Amino acid sequence: SLQESKLENLGHLGDANDHDSLGLFQQRPSSGWGTPEQITDPQYSTMAFQKGLKQVDGWQNMPLTDAAQTVQVSAYPDAYAQWEQQAADLVAQHWNS
């Protein structure tokens, strides 16, 4: 979600919107991620991303960019890599808290 929204829970952005992407992960109702209300719920959208990630064979051993791209199907798959250290720091700081 660092790449998708800079951790901002985005609603519909009008003409600037990427299709019907919403929320922290810029998930799309039309792609089966959930309703707009669900997608803009941070807990729901995080769990939806994690569920998608766990369905990717070998995700634990993939580079971050490849794992995120497999779940998110971004038009800019290499963009995730720039956030890897910051994401790892956030997880280490908040995991199990």
pLDDT of residue 87: 85
Phi, psi of 92 (to 5 degrees): -60, -35
Give, rounded to a whole angstrom, the gap between the first and last alpha carbons of the chain: 19
Q: What is the pLDDT of residues 69-84, one digit of tens each?
A: 999 988 888 899 999 8
pLDDT of residue 17: 64
The runs of H, that is alpha helices, within 8-78 are 36-39, 42-54, 64-72
Phi, psi of 23 (to 5 degrees): 80, -170
Q: What is the pLDDT of residues 45-72, one digit of tens each?
A: 999 999 999 999 999 999 888 999 999 9
- SS3 of residue 33 by DSSP: coil
